[in-house]
Amino acid sequence: MIPFDFEYYKPATVAEACETYRTLQEQKKSVVYYSGGTEFITLARVNQISADAVIDLKGIPEVQVLEMQGDQFIVGSAVTLNQIAESRLFPLLAQTVRGVADHNSRNKITIGGNLGSRLSYREGVLPLLLADCKVRVAGGMKGEGERVVSLSDVFDKQLNLEQGEFLLQILVDKEYLDLPYVHLKKTKQSKVDYPLVSVAALVKDKEIRMAFSGICEYPFRLGEIEEVVNNTTFARKEQLKQVVGKLPAAILDDLHGSAGYREFVFRNVVQETIDALEWAQK
């Protein structure tokens, strides 16, 4: 039960959603977009988030799309993680989101919500960062227009949309869907848990790409790390040392694991990933 009172809107079109947002803004109300809603509900129950109104995006047809359209794989932002896992159109994405939360929750958690999460993990973004994908964004204060931009333009550490904007769809080029890939997730102990380290990797043009979550306080993909990983002149031990040295931020030290242990797990995971993909580099 959420103790505070708020208004709930479930628009049926993008235009309706934009209109609703603007109206609420004019009334000086705080608004939260709502997709799977699991994060909103759990935070609201314990008063860690508040809102005067929520706009449930699930009624908009575009956000429910999950299919190939020409050379593009389209994932609507309100598609649930289980739908993605079951569709298997993008195996790396399927496997990665299968590692998030538990099966019941994944019937509710959406990819848009996972990307927009306040938690630091956002594991669903890892394959998308590797696949140079684009996103279709709607809403905002300026007009009703939609825009298509690269994911990297709006996702740096977290989803950074303009005020009032929301994610409509994710567009992945076909050529990325069937590349050799690996996903590994390591937790403190239980399988159903936040990651100590989660890594998604694929091989494109004989180069390994890797994106990480859990190790630092945001998910990332980093060219410098990939350079080291793809530099075959390094001895493995040296390579791992270099990779650790290139991490973009301090290693997390929290109740899931100390920084020292996380680093140990991270090294293992990087090594395991490279070992598993080495064949595809040749």
Ligand X SMILES: Cc1cc2nc3c(=O)[nH]c(=O)nc-3n(C[C@H](O)[C@H](O)[C@H](O)COP(=O)(O)OP(=O)(O)OC[C@H]3O[C@@H](n4cnc5c(N)ncnc54)[C@H](O)[C@@H]3O)c2cc1C
* Least distance in angstroms from the C-beta of 153 to other proteins: 30
* Least distance in angstroms from the C-beta of 54 to other proteins: 8
Containing 203, the helix (H) or strand (E) segment is strand 197-204
Residue 172 near residue 260 (C-beta atoms within 8 A): no
CB atoms within 10 A of CB 122: 24
- Site for other proteins, rule CB under 8 A: 1-12, 16, 20, 36-38, 41-42, 44-47, 54, 56, 58-59, 82, 98, 101-105, 107-108, 186, 188-193, 237, 240, 255-258, 261, 264-265, 267-268
Residues 6+ apart with CB under 8 A from 74: 65, 66, 67, 68, 169, 170, 171
Of 39, 40, 35, 79, the C-alpha closest to 169 is: 79
Residue 159 near residue 135 (C-beta atoms within 8 A): no
Place of tokens 């809107």: 9
3-class SS at 61?
Answer: helix
Place of tokens 């580099």: 281
Question: Which residue from 167, 177, 182, 240 is in contact with ligand X, where contact means CB under 6 A?
Answer: 167
Q: Which does 3 bind (CB under 5 to 8 A by kind): other proteins, ligand X, none?
A: other proteins
Only one of the segments 21-29, 31-39, 64-72, 252-260 lies at the binding site for ligand X (rule: CB under 6 A); that segment is 31-39
User: Binding of ligand X at residue 220 (CB under 6 A)?
Assistant: no
Residues 256-275 that bind ligand X (CB under 6 A): none
User: Binding of ligand X at residue 127 (CB under 6 A)?
Assistant: no
* Least distance in angstroms from the C-beta of 232 to ligand X: 32
Question: Which residue from 11, 37, 127, 140 is in contact with ligand X, where contact means CB under 6 A?
Answer: 37
Question: Which residue from 110, 169, 239, 273 is in contact with ligand X, where contact means CB under 6 A?
Answer: 110
Please identify, using beta-carbon distances, which residue of 9 and 90 lies nearer to other proteins. Answer: 9
Q: Which does 10 bind (CB under 5 to 8 A by kind): ligand X, other proteins, none?
A: other proteins
Q: What does the longest C-alpha to C-alpha distance in the chain come to?
A: 62
Q: Which does 44 bind (CB under 5 to 8 A by kind): other proteins, ligand X, none?
A: other proteins
Only one of the segments 8-16, 38-46, 85-93, 238-246 lies at the binding site for ligand X (rule: CB under 6 A); that segment is 38-46
Instruction: Give dist(CA 132, CA 152) in Å, integer.
Output: 8
Instruction: Give dist(CA 219, CA 225) in Å, integer.
Output: 14
Task: Write the CA distances from 186 to 129, 157, 271, 282, integer angstroms.
Answer: 20, 20, 13, 28
Containing 32, the helix (H) or strand (E) segment is strand 31-34
Where on the chain is the footprint of ligand X (CB under 6 A)? 32-40, 42, 57, 77, 100-102, 105, 108-110, 112-114, 116-117, 119, 121-123, 166-167, 194
